[in-house]
Each structure stands twice: as C-alpha cells, then as structure tokens.
C-alpha cells in the first residue's frame, strides 16, 4: 500500500491498524475485535475510520493480500521432496531455513533475487548448518523452477552476511571450509545439527547465539 500511495505521517498509525485488522482476519483463528484494535491507538480512531481505511487499503492493493513469500515457497520446496529430506528432519530444516530467510529480509542486497531463489538458497544454507548431504537441485530441477546460478549467488551472499553477523558460530559450523555441504556428494554427512541463531540476537551471558524460530 505504501509503495502505491503517498501517505502522510499523521495517518501511518491508522494504516497500520487497518493492516493488522486485515491480517488477523486472514491468519488468526479468532479475529481481533474492533475494540481491541482501537485500544492499540488508545482510542484515537473511531471504528468507522478504521473500516474506511481497511476498504481503502484493500482497494489499493486490489485484494492481493496473500502474496507469495520466500517463507511460504520454502515450505513448498521441502514438500516437493519429502523422501529426500525425511519427515523427521523436515520441521528442523524449515526452522533453520526460516532463520536464513530472516537475514534476507534485513539486507537490501537480496532485493535483486526472486522469492523462489531466496527460498532455495536458504534451504541450501540450512542443509549446510545441519550437515545434511542432500542434492536439493536434483529434486527441484525436475520442475524447472530455479536458475542454479542465481540460487548459488544468493546462497553465497547469505553465508557472507551470516559470517559477518555470527563469526564464531560460522567457524563452529564450517570447521574445515565454508564450501557447500549440500549438493556435494563427496562430503561426509553426519546427523549432528547445531541450532542456528536468530539474526541479530546473541546470548551475551553465555556468549553463544540462540536459536529462535521466526514462526
């Protein structure tokens, strides 16, 4: 909405309230009550104000309120090859990939990549951190969904940002080399997995990064 409409600063809060109201209707089992939405702004806006902004927002984005996101695509990619990934490790793989996708949301350089490219790159990085020897491209290539060079470029950029943000953790995961473990069958696969840290959050007391799922 903000990319299409020049919005005054004084009504940004109203736009945010309308966006929360719409998102709650889509994703919550119990949508937020209007009174609760109004309380977020301490009663600054009437119910009619919020409902009118809701209509304006939906009209502006042409009801395109369920966009394709890298996080959503990543889960589709995992489901495409459940036999390769393994059901018991699928959820953990998604958690690691979500953390890498959070990195891509915080850095401008990733705007150049399609959501599908970021999704596949995050999965490759997650496979590396989990030390899983899985040829992801052999599965996805059957559907002709991705350009291998774009994915590898995005993956290298993800690892660069990851290395800068968590240098000690990076060395712990990639003891020998930061080269890709996934898609390299000559590498030895182990079942050991190290939790990936949340981007920008570190446990200062223990000097170790924490893993917190983005979901």
Q: Which residue has the higher pLDDT, 63 or 141?
A: 63
For 10-19, the pLDDT digits (tens) are 899 999 999 9
* pLDDT greater than 70 at residue 31: yes
At 180, is the pLDDT very low, low, confident or very high (cuts 50, 70, 90)? very low
High-pLDDT (> 70) share of the chain, %? 70
- The full 3-state SS of the chain, as one line of letters, equals CCCCCCCCHHHHHHHHHHHHHHHHHHHCCCCCCHHHHHHHCCCCCCHHHHHHHHHHHHHHCCCCCCCCCHHHHHHHHHHHCHHHHCHHHHHHHHHHHHHHHHHHHHCHHHHHCCHHHHHHHHHHHHHHHCCCCCCHHHHHHHHCCCCHHHHHHHHHHHHHHHHHHCHHHHHHHCCCCCCCCCCCCCCCCCCCCCCCCCCCCEECCCCEECCCCCC
- Quick one: average pLDDT of 147-174? 82
* pLDDT greater than 60 at residue 184: no
Which pTM value belongs to this model? 0.59
Arithmetic mean of pLDDT over the chain: 76
For 102-140, the pLDDT digits (tens) are 988 888 889 889 888 899 899 888 888 887 777 776 667
């Amino acid at each position: 909405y903000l990319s299409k409409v020049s919005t005054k600063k004084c009504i940004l809060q109203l736009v945010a309230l309308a966006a929360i109201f719409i998102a709650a209707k889509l994703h919550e089992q119990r949508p937020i009550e209007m009174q609760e939405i109004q309380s977020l702004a301490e009663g600054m806006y009437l119910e009619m104000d919020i409902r009118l902004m809701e209509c304006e927002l939906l009209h502006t984005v042409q009801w395109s309120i369920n966009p394709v996101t890298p996080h959503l695509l990543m889960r589709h990619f995992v489901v495409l090859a459940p036999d390769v990934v393994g059901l018991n490790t699928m959820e953990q793989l998604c958690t690691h990939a979500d953390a890498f996708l959070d990195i891509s949301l915080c850095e401008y350089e990733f705007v150049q990549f399609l959501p599908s490219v970021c999704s596949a790159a995050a999965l490759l990085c997650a496979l590396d951190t989990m030390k899983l020897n899985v040829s992801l491209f052999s599965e996805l290539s059957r559907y002709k969904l991705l350009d291998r060079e774009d994915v590898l470029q995005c993956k290298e950029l993800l690892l660069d940002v990851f290395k800068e943000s968590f240098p000690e953790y990076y060395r712990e995961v990639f003891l020998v080399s930061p080269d890709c473990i996934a898609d390299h069958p000559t590498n030895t696969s182990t079942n050991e997995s190290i939790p990936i840290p949340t981007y920008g959050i570190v446990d200062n007391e223990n000097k170790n990064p924490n893993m917190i799922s983005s979901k």
